[in-house]
Structure 1
Amino acid sequence: MRAALAFVRLVLAWCVILGASSVLLATVVVPRLAGATSYDVQTGSMRPGLPPGTLVVVRPVAPEQIGIGTVVTYQLESGEPTVVTHRVTEIGINRAGERVFRTQGDANDAIDPAPVRPVQVRGALWYSVPYAGHFNDLVTRRSGWPLLAAVIGLLGYAGWMFIGAARDRRATPADAPIEEGELVSS
């Protein structure tokens, strides 16, 4: 029974470590290595495909590569930090001869009022991670750091328990310490 419980703990520790590593890899490491940027979806305008709390990872894209149906993340106003992720529904040319895009959220009834200029586009959707946007939002807010520290601490503790379980499993009976009150035969 004790061995079965130890095995279950070992499997659970592995699941936690692999799960956390996978999320970290998908949300931080891969985007940085690929020159991509991640954003969290705040509203339901892109439901059902990108509900609130989804982390979207976008890669820079040339304006010529953006077609109708491409999901893009763009600045509401050029140079401002506020961004929106919507689908391109029309492509046109403005009075200055510049290519512009009309966008619309999948759940919205109307096309967005202002056309999007190429300078506003931060990138095209590469992939998304459901629910990871909640974690990203929590971490980027000041009030989220205590929770992040607790999560990191728990992951560290899980790793420590995993190492201890693996070490104990390798110990032979001759190496095992004798506990007080235990009978030893000679």
Structure 2
Amino acid sequence: MTAGNRIRNRGQQERTGIWWWCGQVLSWLVLFTVLALIAIMIVIPKLGGATAFTVLTGSMRPHLPPGTLAVVKPIDPEQLRIGDVATYQLESGEPEVVTHRVSAIGASLGGEAQFIFRGDANNTDDEPVQPEQIRGKLWYSVPYLGYVNSALSIQQRTWLTWIAAGGLIVYSLVMFVGAWRERRRKELR
């Protein structure tokens, strides 16, 4: 065995040793986690026409504890049923919202539909809600991810998405060039 072969064999061992595999697994886990977070928080809601909110209080415990990311999809209020979890504006046209469960559906004295909501952990109903106040029905929720959602602004989420996409492109290029180089080395032997 020549010195060149010994060096090549050592290099191959390093690429397949325990530390190399640990590094590979860790890098794939980090990549998968970042992509999953971006998909759950940004891409899926945007593609579905939904909005992500963060649960701030314990009124929906145990189903939606504080810090939960609640993704709400717009819905025709006539499709809401008792037991559905939905998000509504406290005051029509104002940004402040509440996510509670529909506890009753009725009509005002004027015949207009009204919805009564109640938090799962509350023992009293909320004030009656008009259909125009309803932002949508709960599509899905993810515990603890609401804290991340609250910490990032819309602009930061957009940048995070672009950085992740750029990182994937760079990673793909590096993997492609590495495979190409390895193939060239084998051809030259």
Query: What's the TM-score bracket when you normalise by the shorter of the two chains?
Result: 0.7 to 0.9
- Whether 2:144 is the aligned partner of 1:131: answer yes
Amino acid at match of 2:52: S
User: RCO higher in 1 or 2 (8 Å CA, sep ≥ 6)?
Assistant: 1
Q: Cα offset for 1:167? A: 6.2
- Which residue number in structure 2 is paired with residue 118 of structure 1? 131
Aligned to 1:106, the other structure's residue is in SS state coil
Q: Distance in 1 between matches of 2:83 and 2:122?
A: 15
Give SS of 2:151's match.
Answer: helix
TM-score between the two structures when normalised by the length of structure 2: 0.76
CA change 1:161–1:63 in 2 (3 A) is closer
Amino acid at match of 2:105: I
Superimposed CA distance per residue, residues 34-83 of structure 1 (whole angstroms, 9 cap, x where no aligned partner): 11111111111111111111111111111211110010100000010000
User: What is the RMSD computed on CA atoms of the aligned residues?
Assistant: 3.1
Q: Which amino acid aligns with 2:107?
A: I
Matched, 1:107 2:129: no
Distance 1:135 1:118 in 2: 31
Offset of residue 129 of structure 1: 1.5
SS of the residue 2:21 aligns to: helix
User: Identity across aligned pairs (percent)?
Assistant: 43
1: distance between equivalents of 2:124 and 2:26?
47
User: Is the alpha carbon distance of 1:48 and 1:166 closer, same or farther for their aligned partners in structure 2, counting shifts above 3 Å?
Assistant: farther
Q: Which residue of 1 aligns with 2:4?
A: none
Give the distance between the partners of 2:48 and 2:55, measured in 1 at CA.
Answer: 21
Structure 2: 5+ residue stretches without partners: 1-12
From 75, 84, 87, the equivalent of 1:73 is 87
Letter in 2 for 1:121: I
2:42 is matched with 28
The corresponding residue for 1:94 is 108
Query: 1:62-117 deviations in whole A, cap 9, x for unaligned?
Result: 121111001010000001000000000011101221111111111112112x1011
For 2:81 and 2:124, the matched residues in 1 are separated by 19
Amino acid at match of 1:122: R
- C-alpha distance in 1 between matches for 2:154 and 2:76: 31
Q: Using the alignment, how far apart are the partners of 2:124 and 2:29 within structure 1?
A: 44
Structure 2 CA distance for partners of 1:10 and 1:57, relative to 1, 3 Å: same
Runs of 4+ residues over 2 Å off in structure 1: 152-172
DSSP 3-state at the match of 1:51:
coil
CA distance in 2, matches of 1:9, 1:155: 21
With normalisation by structure 1, the TM-score equals: 0.77
Count of aligned pairs between the two proteins: 171
Cα 1:37–1:158 change in 2 (3 A) is closer
Query: Given the superposition, is the C-alpha separation of residues 109 and 36 from structure 1 closer, same or farther in structure 2, using an over 3 Å criterion?
Result: same
Higher normalized helix content (fraction of residues) = 2
Q: CA deviation at 1:22?
A: 1.2
